[in-house]
């Protein structure tokens, strides 16, 4: 069931690669243009990385927005990688999360970024487990996702698969992909379980509503030399920025 649902995500994005590219490049998604695009760029620059990888790069905008970083963009959708390559500005590769989990990325970077690209379950868990294969010692995985409290809606605040929606998008979009909802505590546990200590959280706010648009988590890859690891957050290590 889960594998089929993860596969449905890829099938949907393959069908919607062109309208998605048009929406991103045309500035049609208000939350991105007002808040989240700048928020993820600022988050990456806050770590001052020399090298990085954009996991689920889509049509490549984030790689192009960070010219000072030696970035590689990867995505499982051929059509999106073709769009990224056509626009230029970086090294773009077709790779699925399962392939990355198997070691196919062959990189060791300062920062890995997943910007609204972690919407599955098992494939995402495999990507986290593989973090030591693409992050250097002390490297950081930065994830921006929909804010769980805002995205939960009327459904129970528990992990689980949800039906997708293209509400607010053009009629060119079809067959919205399902997505796996995680609570804030589940996101933190996903990092901590895989040896990534959450060292910072950010909750970018909408300038008009004053409510959080997204959640950004920073997970630092721990090494064996860091000593025994206890997957509990200490308050002095968790910096909350609004």
pLDDT digits (tens, 9 = 90+) for 79-130: 999 999 999 999 999 999 999 999 999 999 999 999 999 999 999 999 999 9
Q: CA-CA distance, 80 to 47, in Å (whole number)? A: 27
Alpha helices in 47-199 (DSSP H): 61-65, 78-87, 97-101, 122-129, 131-134, 148-151, 184-193
State the average pLDDT over residues 39-60.
97
Q: CA-CA distance, 101 to 124, in Å (whole number)? A: 9
pLDDT tens digits for range 163-200 = 998 888 888 899 889 999 999 999 999 999 999 999 99
DSSP 3-state percent helix, strand, coil across the chain (nearest 5):
40, 25, 35
Confidence of residue 226 (pLDDT cuts 50, 70, 90): low
Q: Which residue has the higher pLDDT, 3 or 92?
A: 92
Domains (range + CATH), the chain? 2-225 (3.40.50.150)
Confidence of residue 223 (pLDDT cuts 50, 70, 90): confident
State the average pLDDT over residues 29-35.
91
The answer to pTM > 0.95 is no
Tokens of 49: 């990385």
* Confidence at residue 3, expressed as pLDDT on a 0 to 100 scale: 60
Whole-number CA gyration radius for the chain: 17
Q: What is the percent of the chain where pLDDT is above 70?
A: 90
Residue 158 has pLDDT above 50, yes or no: yes
Residue 237 has pLDDT above 80, yes or no: no
Residue 133 has pLDDT above 90, yes or no: yes
- What are the helix and strand counts (H, E) for the chain? 11, 10
Tokens of 107: 């990189």
State the average pLDDT over residues 217-222.
96
* Confidence at residue 230, expressed as pLDDT on a 0 to 100 scale: 41
* Confidence at residue 66, expressed as pLDDT on a 0 to 100 scale: 98
Confidence of residue 228 (pLDDT cuts 50, 70, 90): very low
Bridging pattern class, strands 70-75 and 196-202: unpaired
* Confidence at residue 2, expressed as pLDDT on a 0 to 100 scale: 59
> Which range has the worst mean pLDDT, 14-28, 36-50, 56-70?
14-28
State the average pLDDT over residues 222-241.
47
């Amino acid at each position: 069931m889960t594998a089929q649902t993860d596969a449905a995500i890829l099938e949907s994005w393959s069908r919607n690669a062109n309208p998605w590219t048009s929406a991103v490049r045309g500035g049609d998604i208000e939350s991105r243009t007002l808040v989240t695009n700048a928020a993820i760029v600022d988050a990456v620059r806050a770590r001052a990385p020399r090298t990085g990888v954009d996991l689920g790069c889509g049509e490549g905008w984030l790689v192009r927005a960070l010219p000072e970083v030696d970035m590689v963009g990867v995505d499982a959708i051929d059509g999106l990688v073709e769009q990224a390559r056509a626009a230029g500005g970086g090294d773009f590769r077709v790779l699925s999360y399962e392939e990355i989990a198997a070691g196919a990325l062959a990189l060791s970077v300062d920062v890995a970024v997943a910007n609204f690209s972690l919407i599955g379950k098992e494939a995402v868990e495999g990507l986290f487990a593989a973090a030591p294969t693409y992050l250097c010692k002390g490297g950081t995985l930065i994830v921006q996702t929909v804010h769980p409290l805002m995205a939960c809606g009327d459904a129970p605040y528990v992990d689980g698969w949800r039906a997708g929606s293209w509400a607010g998008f053009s009629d060119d979009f079809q067959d919205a992909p399902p997505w796996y909802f995680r609570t804030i505590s589940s996101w933190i546990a996903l990092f901590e379980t895989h040896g990534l200590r959450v060292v910072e959280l950010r909750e970018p706010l909408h300038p008009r509503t004053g409510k959080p648009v997204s959640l950004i988590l920073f997970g630092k890859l721990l090494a064996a030399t860091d000593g025994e690891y206890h997957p509990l957050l200490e308050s002095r290590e968790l910096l909350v920025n609004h």
